[in-house]
Amino acid sequence: MDAVALEHLGFEIALGTYLISSVLFVLYFSIKKQRLAEMGFTLALFGFAFQTLALASRWLYAGYPPWVSTYEVMSFFAWAVVGAYVILNVKSDYKSAGVLIAPLAFVLLGFASMQPTNPAPLIPALQSVWIFIHVPIIILAYCAFVIAFAASVLYLFKDKQLSEAHMKEGVNRQRDAASKDTPPSRTPESTGILANFSLEQLDDLAYKSVAVGFPLLTIGIITGAIWAESAWGSYWSWDPIETWALITWFVFLVYLHAKTQSWSASLAAYIAALGFMSAICTFLGVGYVLPFLQTYINVSTGLHGYAGGGAISGTVLFCGILGAVLLLLLATRKKPPNATRAPPAQTDTESGPTPQ
């Protein structure tokens, strides 16, 4: 079998396994059978292995790293996201995060599958050592932000679940106090898919991911500036992709400063989510959506020509991912305390019975 056929086979298998893995994870979230998560993870691992094969054979026959054309960049990003997810699960068990990772990998790879796959020779401006450094570093930074986002969203869901359990607890306790014969209810505990990890663990995971992603983004921006300086004679020209990368950098800068303060962990989680949205805007929005808003299409010029393959499908991809992120964040909002219910949250279960 030649390298091209091997690449296509690996790609198709990965696409299929990421789809099945996504379905398994969605099922896992609805029927909460641990086995489904295990299977979803194994499938993602399987797909990752085949995609590694596909990317490696493409690198071999194309003669340049597989992160230049739209097809390559989207595929490489999907590969790196799944890779980060696999690494995450080496030491600890964060398989549940697959419910966000697997669909993202599938959507990215599905989008890649709609793009032309023929390798084009590198234009002069792209022939630089920086293509080996700048592009993968930026993509790895984005992967770290994907993990930070996943951890933050799980944190917010868990936080919501706990506070709702507390609220119920409050109601039960009032009832218990009224009729002394019912046994006191137990401390609220998170159940199901979020039971595997604590709030502290998720908060810590988000922080560690940002601690990996932020220096990578910094290196990515600096190497981009060095490259721009040598190619255009200007290390910074406020082109939209530079500006948005800087915006993302600023958001995570605020996140890291928030972590040194006694600000709430939920606020930090929302800042991390905002940073991830900004990263999506940088990666997809600038190339696909800005040309719609701006009358002249001069946005993805220069070296960031990876956002190709049709503004419509690209915009659908961008809006789909951003919309899903927004819906998830909306779903983490706590229900406003009901007037008929007992005062929520601040009633501490360990502080003993409240005087009635």
Partner 1 sequence: MRFAIKVLTSIRFAAATIGVIILVSVIGTLYPGGDVVFGSPLFLALIGILAISTALCSLTKIVPLWRDVRRPQIEVSDHFMQALPYFVRLSGVSLTQVRDSLKGYAIRETKNGSTTFLLAQKGRVGRFGSHIAHFGVLILLLGVAIGAVYGNTNPYNNKIAVIQEGGSQQVDGFSLRLDDFNVSYYNNGAVRDYTATVTVLDGNLIQTHNVTVNGPLTYKGLTFYLYGYGVTPSGNAWVAFQIKSTSGLPLVWVGAAVALVGIMLSLYVPHKRIWIKESNQSTQLGAISNKSSSRFLNEIEGVRAKLESPPHRVEYSTRSE
Chain contacts with partner 1 (rule: CB under 8 A): 120-121, 123-125, 127-128, 200, 204, 211, 214-215, 218-219, 222, 225-227, 229-236, 238-240, 243-244, 246-247, 250-251, 253-254, 256-258, 260-261, 286, 290, 293-296
Q: How far is the CB of 126 from partner 1 (least distance, A)?
A: 8
Q: How far is the CB of 94 from partner 1 (least distance, A)?
A: 16
**How many CB atoms neighbour CB 325 within 10 A?**
18
Helix, strand or coil for residue 78?
A: helix
Spatial separation of the C-alpha atoms in residues 312 and 182, rounded to whole Å: 61
Complex with partner 1: residue 52 or 218, whichever CB lies closer = 218
Spatial separation of the C-alpha atoms in residues 45 and 354, rounded to whole Å: 51
Q: How far is the CB of 125 from partner 1 (least distance, A)?
A: 5
Complex with partner 1: residue 93 or 229, whichever CB lies closer = 229
Is 283:70 a contact under the CB 8 Å cutoff? no
CA dihedral 201, 203, 206, 211 (to 10 degrees): -100
Complex with partner 1: residue 10 or 275, whichever CB lies closer = 275
Q: How far is the CB of 347 from partner 1 (least distance, A)?
A: 22
Burial class (CB in 10 A: 0-12, 13-18, 19+), 275: buried
Q: How far is the CB of 295 from partner 1 (least distance, A)?
A: 5
Buried b (16+ CB within 10 A) or exposed e, 158-194: bbbbbbebbbebbbbbeebeeeeeeeeeeebebeebb
Q: How far is the CB of 340 from partner 1 (least distance, A)?
A: 36
Complex with partner 1: residue 260 or 340, whichever CB lies closer = 260
Complex with partner 1: residue 5 or 254, whichever CB lies closer = 254
Q: How far is the CB of 260 from partner 1 (least distance, A)?
A: 7
**How many CB atoms neighbour CB 305 within 10 A?**
16
Spatial separation of the C-alpha atoms in residues 134 and 172, rounded to whole Å: 57
Distances (CA, A) of 307 to 117, 126, 269, 283, 348: 14, 15, 29, 8, 51
Q: Is the dihedral of CA 61, 142, 328, 70 positive or negative?
A: negative
Provide the total of helices (H) and of strands (E) in the chain, helices listed first.
Answer: 11, 0
Complex with partner 1: residue 99 or 268, whichever CB lies closer = 268
Complex with partner 1: residue 156 or 217, whichever CB lies closer = 217
Spatial separation of the C-alpha atoms in residues 221 and 234, rounded to whole Å: 14
Complex with partner 1: residue 187 or 230, whichever CB lies closer = 230
Look up tokens 């399987």; give the residue. 46
Complex with partner 1: residue 225 or 322, whichever CB lies closer = 225
Closest CA to 50 of 20, 98, 17, 89: 17
Q: How far is the CB of 318 from partner 1 (least distance, A)?
A: 14
Give the DSSP letter of residue 26.
H
Q: How far is the CB of 14 from partner 1 (least distance, A)?
A: 29
Is 5:43 a contact under the CB 8 Å cutoff? no
